[in-house]
Structure 1
């Protein structure tokens, strides 16, 4: 890592986690046939090796897009996502690396351009979280690392992608229900999600005259590797998502359609907005 950046915290816990080891397996499969809403588009999806990112990549591919899979180190999961995309008849490339490193984004985006020749959609989905009961337990390393992955990386990627995004392009960021209702054990994570929402609204105003739309999705509790592999206390996993009005966690393929809607022309009159697939939690959105 360069400068004051902190190396990925993949040794502190099991994060980012392997979807292939998760039981039960998350539902990533698109639920309906494609209709060409992203025909011949090119999308970067960060964190597309598993979870919401995989479901988004699969749905985008079904709708006609080629996908660049940005991920940290879960190579087997990433290879499966690549195979999923190719099974839909679309092209995919794997781009491993640390999104929190400012030197990664320019090289990674250039690889996308060299491979596909264009970029139409940037999905900033990757994130990390580390639960703490007491704010005094949040180390400086953890604090900086969480902000690097969750919000600094979005700045780096947008900066690198900006020259390649033309009128009609879309940026979709992943914030969280914790931005709106808080989380007593995820103080640093929730703070980054607040920053992401503010970033989304501000960037939308910055790019609207260029015809580039910027929106966000704020998922509630979704069954992905993020929580079972260190993002939540083990004893809390059996109750994960049961406090929502629907009484269960969501599945990645229940969130992916929100990312599709915001990326395609169906949302042509929306920018600076946030969608809330969260199991019925009413937020001041």
Structure 2
């Protein structure tokens, strides 16, 4: 059963290097070259699911561009982990709420690596509010502009460079399917991401670009001590059938599968690493 030390971070976004215990990002198996020669962009790639995905992709042969807001220490650590796996790594700091930043980031990656094969839309924002009336215009705008506008902007920019065989993987959430009474705006954006994933899969089918999603349940990432009070953190994840929170590397395995040619017959689908919660597909 989950039993984390009570902890809280006042900083938004949260920081992985201040978490206790540190999340488990490490891939569990040796690489087999499943992404050899590929270039990937991962938004929110500095920590949590993004870090685990970056390291996993690098182990499988990819070069990785890590987009992040301002968590410099976490980002530098992730860059070093990617390079330790033998991949090239690039850090690009900025805000996916800006269409101009998204466009410039993609152009920078393509100029440096020569191409783009995989886009992982992962950056997100959440704030808990128990009453809908407590959600301010500022919070609503920040949540939607980060969680769904950013996915649109990054995908729009990437489409100028993605070729047949490319893959887009969007991180949605179990809350897209079951809702969450204190994450109403966040859950709404995650529902939009699920619909965006299915729509783009159909839109890009003839171009042979696959678009899929991953809908994690409770995962031990910097979101948690940042968004929750210390006592709630201590019991985080205990509500799911497996009675524990997941680790980022348990989600990254799903993203790796969908990004690789192992998932060549998957498009418009969502995988559910959520600790056993049964939801509609």
- For this structure pair, what is the TM-score category when the shorter chain's length is used for normalisation? over 0.9
State the partner residue of 1:69. 66
SS in 2 for 1:209: helix
User: Equivalent residue for 1:8?
Assistant: none
Any runs of at least 4 consecutive aligned residues in structure 1 with deviations exceeding 6 A, and if so which?
none
| Whole-Å separation in 2 of the counterparts to 1:263 and 1:133 | 36
Aligned length: 273
1:78-93 aligned at under 5 Å gives the runs 78-93=75-90
Residue 156 (structure 1) aligns with: 153
Question: How far apart are residue 235 of structure 1 and its match?
Answer: 2.5
Tell me how far 1:46 sits from its aligned partner. 0.7
The separation in 2 between residues aligned to 1:277 and 1:15, in whole angstroms, is 25
Inter-partner Cα distance in structure 2 for 1:39 and 1:167: 16
Q: Residue 257 of structure 2 corresponds to which residue in structure 1?
A: 261
Are 2:276 and 1:280 aligned? yes
- The alpha-carbon deviation at position 101 of structure 1 amounts to 1.0
What is the alpha-carbon distance in structure 2 between the residues aligned to residue 153 and residue 233 of structure 1?
Answer: 27
Which residues of 2 match residues 25-104 of structure 1 at below 5 A?
25-104=22-101
Calculate the aligned-residue CA RMSD, in Å: 0.9
Q: Aligned partners of 2:218 and 2:19: how far apart in 1? A: 16
**Residue 236 of structure 1, CA deviation:** 1.0
Alignment match, 1:193: 190
Residues 213-263 of structure 1: CA distance to partner in whole angstroms, max 9, x if unpaired? 00000000000001111x223331111100111000000011101000000
1:247 is aligned to 243
Instruction: Provide, for residues 3-24 of structure 1, a one-character-per-residue CA deviation record: whole Å limited to 9, x for no partner.
Output: xxxxxxxxx9522111000001
Structure 2 alignment gaps of length 5 or more: 1-8
Q: How does 1:218-229 map to 2 (within 5 A)?
A: 218-229=215-226
Contact in 2 for aligned 1:105/1:156 (Cα 8 Å) = yes
CA contact (8 A) 1:27 1:253 kept: yes
Aligned pairs (5 A) from 1:75-154: 75-154=72-151
Q: Distance in 1 between matches of 2:210 and 2:46?
A: 25
Distance of 2:14 and 2:223 partners within structure 1: 7
2:232 corresponding residue in structure 1: 236
Q: Is the contact between residue 131 and residue 233 of structure 1 (CA under 8 Å) also seen in structure 2?
A: no
The higher-RCO structure (CA 8 Å, 6+ apart) is 2
